[in-house]
Amino acid sequence: MSSSTSPRSFTLNDFDFELPPELIAQHPTAERSGSRLLDGAPGAVTDRIFRDLPGLLNPVDLLVFNDTKVIKARIFGEKASGGKLELLIERVLQGHQVVAHMKVSKKPLLGGKMHMAGGAHNGGFDAVLLGRWPDANGPLFHLQLSDEPHALMEKHGVMPLPPYIERPAGTADHEDTEEDAERYQTVFARAPGAVAAPTAALHFDEGVLAALAARGVHTASVTLHVGAGTFQPVKTENITEHHMHSEWYEVPEATQQAIAECKARGGQVVAVGTTTVRTLESWAKFNQASGDTEIFITPGFEFKVVDLLITNFHLPKSTLMMLVSAFAGYEHIMGLYRHAIAQKYRFFSYGDSMLLRRRT
């Protein structure tokens, strides 16, 4: 199931595939752990249910979660001149400042004021444009808010659902559905800062966590605040020319120790989601326990920490398709995707999951 051992050069088109639109999940399953799990063991691909996961792991293994919490980062407002706009707050800085994506017909001038959620004069808040970010030509906008950003988002924002999840007009535009407010968040979300959920972790519920504990499987957590760049398409056919988005991460000392102990006892480090892989492998590659990472994992990457990966099914031509291909082998991954499509697995954030072994 693995490709040739000789080096191969990949292009963007290698990671394309035909996905029937009806397989893009628009809503979560009735129960988190009732979703399907494709056990992608080489040579023994098996269709399972996610609640089967504890039986596939050993007491010596270590599950590592991303404990980031999705913030209500999408906020609507208007320029002082009256033009409608939408902010997607990507990162909170010091002093009530934020970095955000802006959707507006004509960008406001430097120093321009925006009235968000009605503006400060009408129960909302104001934002002033300080410049671009991270530099004068950066793709994001640096803003000064009139109050504490997290409190403002909690009061006035809505969940930033992925662009491929559609809601009837008038529902998700200015308010969350009860379903999305609950289900587009993991049960162990702790650290506010993500604008997209670490979706492989959405399948875990209290029943699965209890079964894992009863089996003796160890757990630990990292934090990576998932940015909107996770949905950014790759536009260069030569994938080495793609510039990855930056995301903030942290690997706590307790997790570093848990990984060392797992390796010492012969256990497997099981990453829950590609964000956890990016975090752990950034730590290992750059020897930094926290900071910003732009790590781009493509076939040929040498993994140093992660042995197993739980992940959802990803977009064609995405950096995440490249990551899972690097992890489990390109030919194997493409075969698993053909199987998943034939068996009508549900794709993307609210979709089903797969369990992958690191290619050796």
Tokens representing residue 86 in the block: 């939408």
Q: How confident is the model at residue 174 (pLDDT cuts 50, 70, 90)?
A: low
pLDDT, residue 1, reads: 43
Residue 343: name the closest of 16, 46, 44, 25 by CA.
46
pLDDT, residue 173, reads: 56
Residue 26 has pLDDT above 50, yes or no: yes
Q: How confident is the model at residue 172 (pLDDT cuts 50, 70, 90)?
A: very low
Name the least confident of 102-116, 165-179, 225-239, 336-350.
165-179
Residue 3 has pLDDT above 90, yes or no: no
Name the least confident of 19-33, 91-105, 157-171, 282-296.
157-171
Q: Cα(305)–Cα(38) distance, rounded to whole angstroms?
A: 23
pLDDT, residue 2, reads: 43
The length of the chain in residues reads: 360
pLDDT tens digits for 212-269?
999 999 999 999 999 988 878 899 999 999 989 889 999 999 999 999 999 999 999 9
Phi and psi at 211, nearest 5°, equal -65, -35
pLDDT, residue 4, reads: 42
pLDDT, residue 318, reads: 95
Average pLDDT of the residues of the chain: 94
DSSP secondary structure code for residue 349 in this structure: T
Q: What angle do CA 225, 230, 231 make, to 5 degrees?
A: 140
In percent, the amount of the chain with pLDDT more than 90 equals 85
Per-residue pLDDT averaged across 41-62, rounded?
95
Per-residue pLDDT averaged across 105-129, rounded?
94
pLDDT, residue 36, reads: 98
User: How remote is the C-alpha of 358 from its chain's centroid?
Assistant: 20
pLDDT, residue 360, reads: 84
Q: Which position has the higher pLDDT, 1 or 198?
A: 198
Model pTM greater than 0.85? yes
Task: Decide if 212 contacts 52 (C-beta within 8 A).
Answer: no
pLDDT, residue 232, reads: 81
Q: Cα(93)–Cα(77) distance, rounded to whole angstroms?
A: 21
